Amino acid sequence: MQHPGASLDSPALGQTPLLAPKTRRRPRVGLVAGGLGTYWPQFPGLLPQLEESAQYVSQRFQQMDAEVTDVGFISDAAEGAVAADTLRRTDCDLIVLFLTTYLTSSMVLPIAQRANAPVLVIDLQPSEKMDHANFDTGAWLAYCGQCPVPEVGNVFRRAGIEFRSVSGWLRQESAWSRIEQWINAAHVRAAIRHARHGLMGHLYPGMLDVSTDLTLLPTTFGSHIEVLEFDDLRVRVEAATETETQKRMALAREIFTRDDSVNDDDFEWGARVSIGLDRLVEDFELDTLAYYHRGLNGEQHERLGAGMILGASLLTARGIPTTGEYELRTTVAQLATEVVGAGGSFCEIQALNFEDGVVEMGHDGPAHLAVSSRDPLLRGLGVYHGKRGWGASVEFDVQHGPVTLLGLGQDRDGSLVFIASEGTVVAGPLLEIGNTTSRVDFGRDPGEWVDEWSATGVGHHWSLSVGHRANDYRAAASLLGIEFRQV
C-alpha cells in the first residue's frame, strides 16, 4: 500500500527521489476483538483459539501504515464500555471491531457511540470451511463470527451509525484487500480532517462553480482554511537569494527537460517564486494551496501568479497539491488521491475524439509529476490562455494504463460529494502547448460520458490519479460522511 512519499521514488509512478515528501499524521486505527464470555467456561478450548485469531489480526494491522491501538479482547458489555473510553481518548480515524464468534450488540454499541469515529466490523472465521464430521459445538462457535453481523448492522442503523463490514476467513487475502481499502480510506480521512488549506488571491472571475463557502470544509471535515494574500508570497520571493535560486534551477534541470522556448529570465523567475512558495507553505504549515491573481500590465502580482507553475508542480510532487484558478475543492480531491499513493494531477476536459473514442483531458499549469509517463517538459508560453501573464509551463503525457478521476462536488444544499470515474489512458497524438495531457478511454461514447459526468455536479476541474481506485474513494467518502457518485 503506497502512501505519502511512496510514490515519489516509485518506478511505477516515474517520479524522482530528489524531492522531500510531505510528512503527515498517520491514520489512527483502534482495534477491538470480542466474543460472548458465557461461552468460555462452557467450552474451555474456545477462548484460546479466538485469542490466537485476534493476535493474528492484530499483527496484520500492525504491519499496515497506520498507528494501531489494540485494546485487546472483550467478553461482555462492561469491558466494551472500557474499550470505548480508551478509544475515545485515542481520537481514531477508524475503529475495527473483530467479531471472533457470536457476541451481543450491547457489547459493541457503546464503542461505536462513544468513540466518535467511523466503525468497520470484520468477521474472519479460522479457515475456509468447517470440518463437519469432527466438529463439536465449541469448534463450531469459532466459525460463528458472521452470526451477529446482521444484529450489529440492525442496531447500528437504529442508532444512526453507518454500518460497514468485511466478512471472510482469517488468511483470505481477498478479504484483507477489502480491509486495506478501509485503511486507505482512513488515510484520506486523517489527511483531510487535519489539513491546512491555503487560499491565496481571489476567485477566478466568472467561474461560479469554483466558489466555496470557507466555513464548509471546517464544518464538514474539520480542516482549516488559511486565507493568504499574494503579498505573503511577494515578501518571501523577494527574500530568495541568488544562491538559492541557482540551486532551484539546478534541481529543475534534473527533473525537467527544458525546451528551447523557455526564456532564461522566465526560468530564473519561476525558480525564485518556487523558493518563496516553499517558505510560504512551511511558514503556514500548509497541506494544500489554491491561488489566483489577475493582475494588470505585467505588475508584480501578475508576474507572481504567472511564475507559479514550476514551484507549484514541485510542491504537488512532494504531496502538497498546489493549483491555480482558486480551486480549493480540487486541491482537496488531489490531497485525497495523493495520500493513497495515486498521485493526482489538476485536470479538465480539453476535447473529444469520436474516431478513437477518447476524452482528451489535462490542464495548463501545476501538474503532479508522479503521473508522468516520461521526463516532464518545461515549455515557454508567451500567453496563458484565458489568464494574464506568461512564462514557463509544465508539459507531459500521463502514463498509459488505468486511471481514476476524483472531484469534490457541491450540491444545492451545500453538501459535499466525492465523484469518481475509472478509465484507461491510451496512446495517441497530443497537443504540445505546455499542458499535462492524456487520452482517456472510458469504454463508451465520449460524448455520452461527458453528459453523465457533467450531470453529477463535479465542477470544472478534478484530480486525475493513477490506477483504478474508485473503491478506495468510495470508502473514503463513507468515513468522511459524504456522498459518493461514480460514472
Please determine, for residue 442, whether its predicted confidence score (pLDDT) is greater than 50: yes
Distance CA 176, CA 171 (A): 8
Task: Using the predicted structure, report yes or no on whether residue 2 has a pLDDT greater than 70.
Answer: no
Nearest to 186 by CA among 64, 306, 317: 64
Average pLDDT of the residues in 395-421: 91
Position 433 confidence tier, pLDDT thresholds 50, 70, 90: low
Name every residue whose Cβ is closer than 8 Å to that of residue 242 and which is 6 or more positions away in sequence: none
For residue 389, is pLDDT > 60? no
Q: Distance of alpha carbon 428 from its chain centroid, rounded?
A: 29
Kindly report the CATH number that applies to the domain delimited by 194-486.
3.20.14
* Residue 195 or 364, more confident: 195
Q: 12 falls in which pLDDT band (50, 70, 90)?
A: very low
Locate 201 and state its grid cell.
488571491
pLDDT value, residue 330: 92
In angstroms, the CA 113 to CA 100 distance is 21
Q: Which CATH number fits domain 25-191: 3.40.718.10, 3.40.50.10940, 3.30.460.80, 3.40.50.300?
A: 3.40.50.10940
Q: What are the structural domain ranges in the chain?
A: 25-191, 194-486
- State the pairing for strand pair 322-323/462-466: unpaired
Interval 310-339 mean pLDDT: 91
Alpha-carbon torsion, ordered 257, 262, 268, 271, to 10 deg: -50
Q: How confident is the model at residue 211 (pLDDT cuts 50, 70, 90)?
A: confident
DSSP state of 369: G
pLDDT for the residue 202: 86
Yes or no: say if 19 and 317 are a contact pair by the CB < 8 Å rule.
yes
235-256 pLDDT tens trace: 999 999 999 999 998 888 888 8
Is pLDDT of 200 > 60? yes
Tell me what the mean pLDDT of segment 382-389 comes to: 48
How far from 468 is each of 72, 82, 225, 340, 397, CA to CA, in Å?
35, 40, 30, 12, 18
What is the rounded distance in angstroms from the CA atom of residue 42 to the CA atom of residue 44? 6
Percent of the chain at pLDDT exceeding 90: 63
How far apart are alpha carbons 269 and 460 in whole angstroms? Answer: 29
215-219 CB contacts, 8 Å cutoff, 24+ apart: 216/410, 216/414, 216/416, 217/328, 217/332
* Cβ count within 10 A of residue 71: 21
- DSSP secondary structure string, 87-123? HHHHT-SEEEEEE-S---HHHHHHHHHHS-S-EEEEE
Higher pLDDT, 375 or 78: 78
Burial of 449 (0-12, 13-18, 19+ CB in 10 A): buried
Q: For residue 209, is pLDDT > 90?
A: no
Contact 118, 478 (CB under 8 A): yes
Residue 16 phi/psi, 5-degree rounding, is: -90, 145
C-alpha distances out from residue 206 to 210, 325, 382, 383, Å: 9, 11, 23, 20
Mean pLDDT of 223-243: 94
pLDDT of residue 363: 76
pLDDT band at 315 (very low <50, low <70, confident <90, very high): very high
Could you tell me the CA-to-CA distances from 372 to 106, 185, 365, 369 in Å, in that order? 51, 24, 14, 5
In the predicted structure, residue 87 carries a pLDDT above the cut 90: yes
Quick one: pLDDT at residue 436? 75
The cell for 350 is 480539453
Q: 298-312 pLDDT, tens per residue?
A: 778 888 888 888 898
Mean pLDDT score across all residues of the chain:
88
Over 90: is that where the pLDDT of 44 sits? yes
* Range in 17-21, 47-51, 208-212 the model is least confident about: 17-21
**Tens digits of per-residue pLDDT, 336-375?**
999 998 988 888 888 899 999 999 988 766 667 777 767 7
Which cell is 211 given? 466558489
